[in-house]
C-alpha cells in the first residue's frame, strides 16, 4: 500500500488502451501509488442512464487526483438509441461526462502546454529566406478557462418568456433579432465571472513567472466581444501592473492569432483565453507540435486541490476495435507527467519526459501518425509501432 491513490478513469475506446500504458510507465518510472478504477463514459450511459455515476464522483472527492483516458459522446438522438430497453422512454438527460466532471468539481484552470519535440517528423516547418526551410521551436503554455463562457451550458432554443423579454430590453437584440419569431431564436450565452476570470489570468501570470516566460498573451476579441473578452483583458492589465511588472502583456484577437500561429509561433509564451477560444487556440498550437498524439492537458481547482489529467484527444472509436492498438500513447503519458508536476513528483516527471524525448529523437520507434501513415489496421505490419511498443520503448529509456 502506498499513501497515494489515483483514480483511473479509462472511459471509452482508445482511452482504455492509452491509460493502461501510461500507468505502466508511471509504475516503471518509480511512482509509488495505488490506482482505483472508476466508471465513466458511454457504457455507463447505456447501462445505467448516467455516464458519470455518483460512485465515480465520490472516488474523486476522496482521492483528489484523477487520470482520464477519453470518452465517447454522441448527439441527443443517438444517445437515446444506445440505452438498454429498461431505460428507453425514461426522462433522462445525456450530457458529456467530461464536461460534467469539470463543472461538478469546478476544475476551472485548464493548462495545455505545446512544446516542440526535437526530431518529431510531425513538427511544423515553414519556408524562410531564400527558400530555406525553417523549423521554429514552439514552447507555449495555454491557460484555458474551463468552466464558463460559451461552454457553460446556459442556452435555449425558443427561450422562455422571461428570458426573451429580458433580451428584448437590449437595444441590439430588439433591433437585430426582434423581428424573428421567438420559436425560431436559439441563444447560447457567454458568461464570464470576475472570480474565475481573475483566477485563470493569475494562473497564467504565475506560470510565466515560475518558468521564465517573457510574455502573457490574452487571446480573445475585446474589440468586438466587449463585455467578456474586455473584462479578461482589463483584468490582465490590472494584474500585470500590480503584481507582474516584469512580464509583458500582449493582446491578440483569436482570428489573427490563428494566422500568426503559422507565421511566428516561436514568439509566444503563455497564452490565456476563455473556454472556447482556449479550446481553439490550443488545438491550433497542438497541430504544430505533432497533433492529437502529443497534446496533453491538466485541469484543476486550485482551492480544493482536485485535478484531472487527460490527453486532449477523444476515444477515436474507429481505432478502438483493431486487434492491435495503433494510437500514440504519448499524449496520455505526457498528461500523466503533468499530474506528477501537480503532486510534486517532478523528478519522476522529468525522467519520463526525457525518455519520451529520447525515443522521439531516435526515430526508430514511431506510431502510425509519426510515420505519416493512414490509420489502418495493418500499419504495424508495415513497420509502425503499436501503442504498446511505443510505451515499451519509453520504458526502456527510463
> In whole angstroms, what is the distance from residue 32 CA to residue 319 CA?
32
Nearest to ligand NAI of 239, 331 (CB atom): 331
Closest residue (Cβ) to Mg ion? 279
Of the pair 269, 329, the CB lying nearest ligand NAI is at 329
Which residues inside 313-332 make contact with ligand NAI, applying CB under 6 A? 313-318, 327-328, 331
Min dist CB 324 to ligand NAI, Å, is 14
Q: Taking the chain, what is the end-to-end CA distance rounded to the nearest angstrom?
A: 23
CB-neighbour burial class of residue 299 (10 A; exposed 0-12, middle 13-18, buried 19+):
buried
Are the C-beta atoms of 285 and 114 separated by less than 8 Å? Answer: yes
- Contact pattern from residue 160 through residue 199 relative to Mg ion, giving x for each residue in contact according to CB under 5 A and a dash for the rest: ----------------------------------------
Contact 124, 138 (CB under 8 A): yes
CB 365 within 8 A of CB 385: yes
Angle at 257 between CA 253 and CA 259, to 5 degrees: 130
Order of strands across the sheet with 65-70?
Answer: 34-37, 5-11, 65-70, 306-311, 296-301, 109-115, 139-145, 270-273, 215-220, 248-253
Least Å distance, CB 300 to Mg ion, is 18
CB-closest chain residue to ligand NAI: 314
Chain residues 41-60 in contact with Mg ion, contact rule CB under 5 A? none
Residues 6+ apart with CB under 8 A from 155: 186, 187, 188, 189
Rounded to a whole number of angstroms, the minimum distance from the CB of residue 283 to Mg ion is 5
Binding-site partner at residue 138 among ligand NAI, Mg ion, none, CB < 5 to 8 Å by type? none
Cα separation values, 379 from 137, 290, 318, Å: 29, 18, 14
237 is written with which cell numbers?
Answer: 492589465
Quick one: angle between helices 54-63 and 97-104, nearest 10? 50
22 binds ligand NAI (CB under 6 A): no
In the bound state with ligand NAI, the residue whose beta carbon lies nearer, of 145 and 315, is 315
Q: Is 279 in the site for Mg ion (CB under 5 A)?
A: yes
Residue 354 interaction partner, one of ligand NAI, Mg ion, none, beta carbon < 5-8 Å per kind: none
**Within 52-71, which residues bind ligand NAI (CB under 6 A)?**
70-71
- 20 belongs to the binding site for ligand NAI (CB under 6 A): no
Nearer to ligand NAI, 59 or 379 (CB): 379
Q: Which does 313 bind (CB under 5 to 8 A by kind): Mg ion, ligand NAI, none?
A: ligand NAI
Contact residue for ligand NAI among 98, 219, 235, 394 (CB under 6 A): 98
Q: How far apart are CA 285 and CA 16, in angstroms?
A: 26
Distances (CA, A) of 234 to 6, 17, 156, 222, 263: 38, 44, 29, 9, 27
Q: How far is the CB of 191 from ligand NAI (least distance, A)?
A: 22
Enumerate the β-bridge partners of residue 115. 139
Q: Which of 40, 50, 6, 10 is nearest to 320 (CA)?
A: 10
Minimum distance from CB of 110 to Mg ion (Å)?
10
Instruction: Kindly compute the dihedral angle of the four CA atoms of residues 272, 275, 276, 282, in this order, to the nearest 10 degrees.
Output: 50
Smallest gap from Cβ 238 to Mg ion, in A, equals 30
In the range 254-283, which residues lie near ligand NAI by CB under 6 A? none
Residue 279 binds what, of Mg ion, ligand NAI, none (CB under 5 to 8 Å, by partner type)? Mg ion
C-alpha to C-alpha distances, 339 to 6, 8, 26, 141, 255, nearest whole angstrom: 10, 12, 11, 15, 31
x/- map, 345-374, ligand NAI, by CB under 6 A = ------------------------x-----
Contacting residues toward Mg ion, per CB under 5 A:
279
Contacting residues toward ligand NAI, per CB under 6 A:
70-73, 98, 292-293, 310, 313-318, 327-328, 331, 369, 375
Amino acid at each position: 500500500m502506498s499513501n497515494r491513490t489515483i483514480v483511473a478513469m479509462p472511459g471509452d475506446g482508445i482511452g482504455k488502451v492509452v491509460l493502461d500504458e501510461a500507468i505502466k510507465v508511471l509504475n516503471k518510472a518509480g511512482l509509488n501509488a495505488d490506482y482505483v478504477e472508476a466508471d465513466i463514459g458511454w457504457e455507463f450511459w447505456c447501462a445505467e442512464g448516467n455516464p458519470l455515476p455518483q460512485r465515480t464522483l465520490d472516488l474523486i472527492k476522496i482521492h483528489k487526483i484523477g487520470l482520464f483516458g477519453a470518452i465517447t459522446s454522441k448527439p441527443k438522438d443517438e444517445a437515446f438509441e444506445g440505452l438498454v430497453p429498461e431505460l428507453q422512454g425514461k426522462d433522462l438527460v445525456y450530457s458529456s461526462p467530461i464536461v460534467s466532471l469539470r463543472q461538478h468539481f469546478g476544475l476551472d484552470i485548464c493548462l495545455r502546454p505545446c512544446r516542440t519535440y526535437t526530431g518529431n517528423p510531425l513538427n511544423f516547418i515553414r519556408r524562410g529566406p531564400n527558400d530555406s526551410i525553417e523549423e521554429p521551436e514552439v514552447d507555449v503554455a495555454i491557460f484555458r478557462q474551463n468552466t464558463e463562457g460559451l461552454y457553460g451550458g446556459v442556452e435555449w432554443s425558443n427561450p422562455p418568456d422571461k428570458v426573451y423579454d429580458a433580451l428584448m430590453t437590449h437595444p441590439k437584440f430588439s433591433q437585430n433579432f426582434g423581428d424573428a419569431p421567438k420559436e425560431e431564436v436559439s441563444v447560447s450565452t457567454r458568461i464570464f465571472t470576475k472570480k474565475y476570470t481573475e483566477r485563470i489570468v493569475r494562473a497564467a501570470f504565475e506560470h510565466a513567472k515560475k518558468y521564465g516566460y517573457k510574455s502573457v498573451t490574452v487571446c480573445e476579441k475585446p474589440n468586438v466581444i466587449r463585455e467578456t473578452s474586455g473584462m479578461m483583458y482589463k483584468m490582465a492589465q490590472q494584474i500585470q501592473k500590480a503584481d507582474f511588472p516584469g512580464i509583458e502583456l500582449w493582446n491578440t484577437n483569436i482570428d489573427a492569432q490563428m494566422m500568426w500561429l503559422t507565421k511566428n509561433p516561436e514568439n509566444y509564451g503563455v497564452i490565456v483565453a476563455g473556454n472556447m477560444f482556449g479550446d481553439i487556440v490550443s488545438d491550433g498550437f497542438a497541430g504544430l507540435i505533432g497533433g492529437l498524439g502529443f497534446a496533453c492537458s491538466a485541469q484543476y481547482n486550485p482551492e480544493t486541490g482536485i485535478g484531472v489529467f487527460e490527453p486532449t484527444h477523444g476515444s477515436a472509436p474507429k481505432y478502438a476495435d483493431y486487434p492491435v492498438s495503433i494510437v500514440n500513447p504519448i499524449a496520455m503519458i505526457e498528461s500523466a507527467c503533468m499530474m506528477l508536476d501537480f503532486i510534486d513528483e517532478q523528478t519522476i516527471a522529468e525522467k519520463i519526459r526525457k525518455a519520451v524525448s529520447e525515443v522521439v529523437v531516435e526515430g526508430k520507434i514511431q506510431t502510425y501518425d509519426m510515420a505519416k501513415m493512414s490509420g489502418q489496421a495493418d500499419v504495424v505490419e508495415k513497420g509502425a509501432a503499436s501503442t504498446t511498443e511505443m510505451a515499451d520503448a519509453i520504458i526502456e529509456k527510463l
